[in-house]
Chain A
């Protein structure tokens, strides 16, 4: 395949008078695993949420496989695309959230199959078979009939990842997926993310797990005050940061 899977150009986003993204440019090639790091308030999560239109943005373009996400510009006028079109575009990406956000009134399997049935229009049998395959892949097939309240945080997050990945998105977005977990549950989730990376899944990860970013990413982006402060190969960046800000940030981060 040629070209970039994701192209972000001049991304601007503001909340009222506060400009959180001040022109972000970023290209992601197929199969890249990119960690986005930075202190809180630097805009990393906001940037991720713009990619699947969970946040509206006022300026710039986001393209997935060349297709403009969320907005259409015609005759110099920028318009939000119709809701149905945005729903379809959201399914091009999969997202895992810090708080898991599993649907509490559905079993693990039902959580995974909902989108398959409603969005992918699969039959019940088809969706269940695929759902079970993915639950098995995250090691939770035996828990398929459990409700989220009966699962540990780590298990819930693995189900949430299975729910996203079962939709066969072109790009996976991970938003601090281990931040809400007890320390002893982090490893099982990172293990799942790592195995997806090994499969060649293209992914953007907002993370505070520096060790993980270091080991898994093909590229690291350091966000600083709404802009990309520095980016590059994790080994180079972590060993010799070019900017003062990144050096400071790395010093204050834990590597464990």
Chain B
């Protein structure tokens, strides 16, 4: 009979499922953050500058999504959309749910940032003949980004953490892979700690990146 394997040997044996899980977690988070940021920026624009009717629609959407637990969004996206005839894989449904969740947060953050820019900025841009899109791209957007960056980084970190919820619909992200490894090795404490460390590493990287961008965009 072989001597019992050490933890490091077990980690080595489980390296592929764990790395695959980590990759999936990063992929889910990245897709949701990118999709949610694009959608959320548009939402923020509508919430700030839209007509009364479009503002109302956007407000309804953000409040509804923000008032719903992420887990409910994930389950709804997987089960309800399936019933409604939209056949998404677990991965697709999960990414969709997180994107929607992310967009509502980014929408609010964007609105807050745009509204806190002094209105003279938009007027000065208009006065030299800039169109709205030019003004947003060169004057309002960069200033809003700087104001919103800390909150955006926070949202990105939240998305990575929320990606663990996709394990309930069977997406083989890091948490689910870890649980599978634990069910074979029975070393729950060690592998949960390892997973915790990996999540921390991803989020720490995001925060460092955020700090870097903040420094780069801060006023001289």
Are the C-beta atoms of A94 and B128 separated by less than 8 Å?
yes
Question: Which residues of B does A touch, CB under 8 Å?
Answer: 118, 120-121, 123-132, 134, 138-139, 142-143, 146, 217, 219-220
Q: Are A118 and B127 in contact (CB under 8 A)?
A: no
> Is A119 in contact with chain B by the CB < 8 A criterion?
yes
14 contacts between A and B (CB under 8 A): A87-B126, A90-B128, A97-B120, A97-B123, A97-B124, A97-B127, A99-B120, A101-B118, A101-B123, A103-B139, A115-B129, A119-B129, A147-B220, A167-B128
Min CB distance A117 to B, Å, is 9
Q: Which of A50-102 contact B (CB under 8 A)?
A: 52-54, 83-84, 87-88, 90-91, 93-95, 97, 99, 101-102
Cross-interface CB contact of A52 among B127, B134, B219, B220, cutoff 8 Å: B127
- Bound-complex Cα distance A93 to B124 (A): 12
In this complex, what residue of B is CB-closest to A112?
A: B128
Contact A105/B127 with A97-B120, A147-B220 known, Cβ cut-off 8 Å: no
Query: Do A103 and B121 have beta carbons less than 8 Å apart?
Result: yes
Interface size of A by CB at 8 A reads 30
A30 to B220, CA, bound (A): 42
- Give bound CA distance, A118 to B120, whole Å: 19
A102 CA / B1 CA spacing, docked (Å): 78
Rounded to whole angstroms, the CA-CA distance of A169 and B96 in the bound complex is: 50
Residues of B within 8 A of A150 (CB): 220
Q: Known contacts A52-B127, A105-B146; is A147 also within 8 Å of B134 by CB?
A: no
Interface string of A103-117 (1 = CB under 8 A from B): 111000000001100
- Which chain A residue lies CB-closest to B120? A101
Q: Are A84 and B129 in contact (CB under 8 A)?
A: no
Q: State whether A167 touches B120 (Cβ < 8 A).
A: no
The answer to whether B130 touches A119 (Cβ under 8 A) is yes
Q: Which residue of A lies closest to B139 (CB)?
A: A103
- The 8 Å CB contact of A87, one of B120, B129, B138, B142, is B129
Q: Determine whether the beta carbon of B128 is less than 8 Å from that of A115.
A: yes
Q: Is the CB of A83 within 8 A of B132?
A: yes
A21 part of interface (Cβ distance < 8 Å):
no
A52 to B, closest residue via Cβ: B127
Q: Is A135 an interface residue (CB 8 A)?
A: no
Q: Type the 1/0 row for A20-36, where 1 means its CB is closer than 8 Å to any CB of B.
A: 00000000000000000
Among the listed A84, A105, A149, A163, which residue makes an inter-chain contact with B143, where contact means beta carbons less than 8 Å apart?
Answer: A105
